Amino acid sequence: MLGMVLIVNGCSGGGPPSGHPQWGGPVAVLVARSIQKTVPVQLHAIGTVDAYASVAVKPQVGGQIIGVYFQQGQQVAQDQRLFDIDPRPYRAALDQARATLARDQAQSDQASRDAARWQALYQSRTASQQQAEQAQAQADELKAVVEADKANVRTAKLNLEFCRILSPIAGRAGALMVQAGNIIKANPDNPIVTINQIKPIYVQFSLPEKDLPLIRRYMNRDPLTVEANPPSAPEQVSTGALDFIDNSVDTTTGTIQFRGLFRNRDEALWPGEFVNVTLTLTERPNTVLVPSQAVQSGEQGNYVFVLQPNQSVRLQPVVIGDTLGAMTIIKRGLHAGETVVTDGQVQLIPGSRVKIKSGLGPTRTGVT
């Protein structure tokens, strides 16, 4: 019986786990101080990069490629020479068209003189009206033939010019689909090269239709800034301006198409690339922020542990907003300058006493 009493007394001497405010020692934590600053009001989306202009180059005449004057992937200027097609057949066609024009022009001139003579004879009553009219009709017919010949000469000149293919825009050349010596046809199914203008460049993105009134309200005040960066390189941010809003809502997704225009001088954005897009609407001053790791979630919502002057903590419910980098916006529940726990919350309950790890004091913010 005595042994049983001793066992019971021994068990009653145990306490709660270390960290309990009443029984254990202080809990080691890291802390940071909430700050107040002006923060942007932003919307976020995933976008795709589109070339400012894209031209699929196709020859307008057929023949043999006799010259290629650029490298695939090369930056080319507007009107830069790209290809030469063998011009000899088209030069011969031009010569033939000119010769035909000269022949028909001579015949037309003779017919005009004949018509004038027949008209004079008709006026002097030595020729019939029918003969004069036939002569005039012949002259008019040959004049029409001459005009057709002139059009043929212009066409032959154009075909000869088309033998030299120039870049219609300034941009970067894509894959080269033909080489010198290849025979190509006029207007083939596939382009012989595609040129994309990427300076400037577009970024297309979609946002929910519910955001449209807010966006339109702010864009009527000032141009709206658009930022884009590849998901793999969050630090590689390109800045542009909102350039276009589509005129209808996509009823299948409930979203509206937007477009940002970027100068892209460093070619950081590339056509077809997926990017993270941030549309900045305005700035909100005097906003409270804390490190994101300070915010905890519970059954009653979000909360933080706030350090008290007596080195204990209290649980403070908060309403959070957007995340900006490593910081979270606190809409309600916290003031600037309060010290919050950023590490060690799992061991805390309201009233727990704490000590700052690694010698950090309660005034250390932990943010820059």
CA dist list (Å): 366 to 38, 269, 343, 363: 19, 34, 11, 9
Record the tokens describing residue 228, joined without a space. Answer: 């884009």
Q: Note whether 194 and 57 are within 8 A (CB).
A: yes
Report whether pLDDT(8) > 80: no
d(CA 170, CA 53): 9
Structural domain boundaries in the chain? 21-37+286-359, 42-51+203-285, 61-85+164-190, 88-161
Q: Which pLDDT does position 23 carry in this prediction?
A: 54
Choosing among 2.40.420.20, 3.40.50.300, 2.60.120.330, 1.10.3720.10, the CATH entry for 21-37+286-359 is 2.40.420.20
Spatial CB neighbours of 359, under 8 Å, sequence gap ≥ 6: none
Report whether pLDDT(336) > 60: yes
- pLDDT tens, position by position, 184-234: 999 999 999 999 999 999 999 999 999 999 999 999 888 999 999 999 888
Report whether pLDDT(47) > 60: yes
- pLDDT tens, position by position, 141-170: 999 999 999 999 999 999 999 999 999 999
Percent of the residues in the chain that have a pLDDT greater than 70, as a whole number: 90
Q: Note whether 294 and 348 are within 8 A (CB).
A: no
Q: Which pLDDT does position 18 carry in this prediction?
A: 42
State which amino acid sits at residue 224. Answer: L
Query: Is 61-85+164-190 assigned to CATH 3.50.50.60?
Result: no
Choosing among 2.40.30.170, 3.40.720.10, 3.20.20.70, 3.30.70.260, the CATH entry for 42-51+203-285 is 2.40.30.170
Q: Look at residue 199 and give its three-state secondary structure.
A: strand
Question: Is the pTM value of this prediction over 0.95?
Answer: no
Report whether pLDDT(9) > 70: no
Which residues is 256 bridged to in the sheet?
207
Residue 24 pLDDT grade (very low, low, confident, very high; cuts 50, 70, 90): low
Q: If we measure between CA atoms, which residue out of 38, 41, 158, 48 comes closest to residue 97?
A: 158
Strand 354-356 vs strand 27-33: parallel, antiparallel, or unpaired? parallel
- pLDDT tens, position by position, 67-96: 999 999 999 999 999 999 999 999 999 999
d(CA 224, CA 215): 9
Summarize the confidence of residues 343-348 as an average pLDDT.
92
Q: If we measure between CA atoms, which residue out of 266, 264, 196, 203 comes closest to residue 53?
A: 196
Summarize the confidence of residues 304-332 as an average pLDDT.
92
Q: Which pLDDT does position 330 carry in this prediction?
A: 95
Summarize the confidence of residues 318-340 as an average pLDDT.
92
Q: Which pLDDT does position 234 carry in this prediction?
A: 86
- pLDDT tens, position by position, 245-300: 999 999 999 999 999 999 999 999 999 999 999 999 999 899 999 999 999 998 88
Summarize the confidence of residues 6-35 as an average pLDDT.
61
CATH says 88-161 is which class? mainly alpha
Element (H, E) at 2: helix 2-12
Summarize the confidence of residues 95-102 as an average pLDDT.
98
Q: What is the DSSP string of 27-80?
A: EEEEEEE-EEEEEEEEEEEEEEEEEEEEEEE--SS-EEEEEE-S-TT-EE-TT-
Residue 126 pLDDT grade (very low, low, confident, very high; cuts 50, 70, 90): confident
Instruction: Kindly tell me the burial class for residue 190, based on how many C-beta atoms sit within 10 Å of its own C-beta (0-12, 13-18, 19 or more).
Output: exposed
Q: Which pLDDT does position 28 carry in this prediction?
A: 93
**Phi/psi-derived region of residue 221, left when phi > 0, alpha when psi is between -120 and 50, beta in every other case:** alpha
d(CA 137, CA 66): 48
Q: Which pLDDT does position 17 carry in this prediction?
A: 42
Residue 125 pLDDT grade (very low, low, confident, very high; cuts 50, 70, 90): confident
Summarize the confidence of residues 303-324 as an average pLDDT.
93
